[in-house]
Amino acid sequence: MAAAKSTRNDVQGALELAVFAGGRVTRHPLPAEGRVSLGRSPENDVPIDDSSVSRRHAIIHLGPPIAIEDLGSANGTRLRRERSAGPTTKLLELQPEQGKTMELAVGDAVNLGSTLIVILPREGAASAAPGQGPGQPIVLDPAMERLYALAERVAGAPITVILLGETGAGKEVLAEHIHRRSPRAQGPFVRLNCAALSESLLESELFGHERGAFTSAVQAKPGLLETAEKGTVLLDEVGELPPSIQVKLLRVLEERKVMRVGGLSPRPIDVRFLSATNRDLAAEVKRGAFREDLFFRLNGIALTIPPLRARIAEIAPLARAIADRTASAVGRPAPAFAPETLAALEAHRWPGNIRELRNVIERAVVLSGGDTLLPEHLLLDAAAALPPSEARLAAGPVEAHPAAAPAEARSAAVPAEATAPPPAEGAGGLRGELDAIERRRIVDALEQCAGNQTQAAALLGMPRRTFVARLSAYGIPRPRKGKATR
């Protein structure tokens, strides 16, 4: 579940699972084949923190065909599907028998207890505009147009590329675009989140292992670098790589060979490397946290993605695309946007960028219940609105930065600012419930990560500064190193 593999002609390998629970939406990349377990227990591939979901609730079988199996859950698994009957359309609710599978189609809405899950195409998820086809990003801002024009030229060369930008700005979408425009487009595109795995698991995922290399290695397994043969590997959050893995990755980049854990001889590989980070790697090199030789190997050319608040022209089209897709997934007509709703979206600071926009719009569609999205459905924080002068700021020119200038690339973008407005005085109803849910999720994330704030923020998909500010807003004491919050 830490990586997703896809090819250009393999739609099944480009899927994700959207989970609607507790007024929020989480997304989980799905593998091309195999089984994905769902349930309340953290041992599941996709844990769902909701009391209506059983500890081991269901399994999704990824074929083809795709199917779901209920594991004897207390509150059941129900599939909602439309069936046309003449001029009318009926909404059927189907329930698989325990131990038997029921076939699913992409876009089917499934209830696990009171939660909703939907399997959706992952390729170009939040950036695909209606009518542009899967994987076609919305590019309307002049700076983004220059960036993508440059990416087109870079795609045809074997040079390594590092993508810089804030969390959720669209680095993975740009990486997939480079892959699709490259001579390796027919090969696999493999993404690994370097911040999502422990050091030992990261080594095994990247390089693979031989049978008996460690206790649970009952059979040999190729690593992601081997499975990406003739394709592209995206090392997301590359700045989070542990020093020991940095050394081994550098050797792979130089020799184009990989040594499995427990192996005796290296195996040749033919892959292209892309990497992405929201860190200033030049500064990390200076303070000794990132190897300088690996930095230069990865940074053949650096492309900086402007934050969403500097691309105001793209906010409304992105919001409409996300709303249309979400409404279709939950069986509703596409909603309209009130003018004041669009104004509120364009005035927001978006510290989480497109990822935050996607969550806001999906939540609004689920909660609205009507055919028009109003500002109150967005549940935006007023303190996160852009000042008028900053809202009018145009994005600066996009440049390609050689190996020595990633810090300059970062400085060209508008600096991220954490937003941490406390819950409004006397706020009740839905907003108060959502605040309570968010607080609980933050505390749970800290406990899962043994009090490590950086890892907890990454687990929640939240910028670290925003996470720290949320701790203060909700009165959660910042844990000391090595101690979890209770």
Instruction: Confirm if 142 and 106 have CB atoms less than 8 A apart.
Output: no
Banded model confidence at residue 218, pLDDT cuts 50, 70, 90: confident
Cα–Cα distance, 179 to 187 (Å, whole number): 9
Per-residue pLDDT tens over the stretch 262-299: 888 889 999 999 999 999 898 899 999 999 999 999 99
**329 vs 271, higher pLDDT:** 271
pLDDT confidence of residue 386: 56
Range in 136-140, 211-215, 421-425 with the lowest mean pLDDT: 421-425
How many Cα atoms occupy the beta-carbon half-sphere of 62 within 13 Å?
22
Mean predicted lDDT score pLDDT of the chain: 78
Per-residue pLDDT tens over the stretch 42-61: 888 899 988 889 999 999 99
Is residue 106 predicted with pLDDT exceeding 70?
A: yes
Token pair belonging to 84: 């046309």
Residue among 450, 443, 432, 433 nearest 467 (CA): 443
Residue among 79, 84, 122 nearest 104 (CA): 79
Cα–Cα distance, 398 to 58 (Å, whole number): 47
Residue among 366, 288, 312 nearest 141 (CA): 312
pLDDT confidence of residue 82: 53
Token pair belonging to 169: 């700005």
Cα–Cα distance, 60 to 101 (Å, whole number): 9
pLDDT confidence of residue 190: 86
Task: Count the neighbouring beta carbons within 10 Å of the beta carbon of residue 212.
Answer: 11
Instruction: Confirm if 406 and 281 have CB atoms less than 8 A apart.
Output: yes
Region 178-204: mean pLDDT is: 85
Tokens 């595109």, residue located: 189
Is residue 387 predicted with pLDDT exceeding 70?
A: no
Token pair belonging to 475: 């009165």
pLDDT confidence of residue 197: 73
Range in 73-77, 116-120, 134-138 with the lowest mean pLDDT: 134-138
pLDDT confidence of residue 177: 92
Phi, psi of 83 (to 5 degrees): -135, 125
Left (φ > 0), alpha (ψ -120 to 50) or beta: where does 283 sit?
alpha
Banded model confidence at residue 69, pLDDT cuts 50, 70, 90: very high
Banded model confidence at residue 122, pLDDT cuts 50, 70, 90: low
pLDDT confidence of residue 81: 63
Cβ contacts of residue 330 below 8 Å, gap of 6+?
A: 20, 109, 116, 118, 365, 366
Range in 7-21, 167-181, 434-448 with the lowest mean pLDDT: 7-21
Tokens 């422990």, residue located: 198
Is residue 348 predicted with pLDDT exceeding 90?
A: yes
Range in 68-77, 260-269, 345-354, 459-468 with the lowest mean pLDDT: 459-468
How many Cα atoms occupy the beta-carbon half-sphere of 248 within 13 Å?
20
Is residue 186 predicted with pLDDT exceeding 90?
A: no
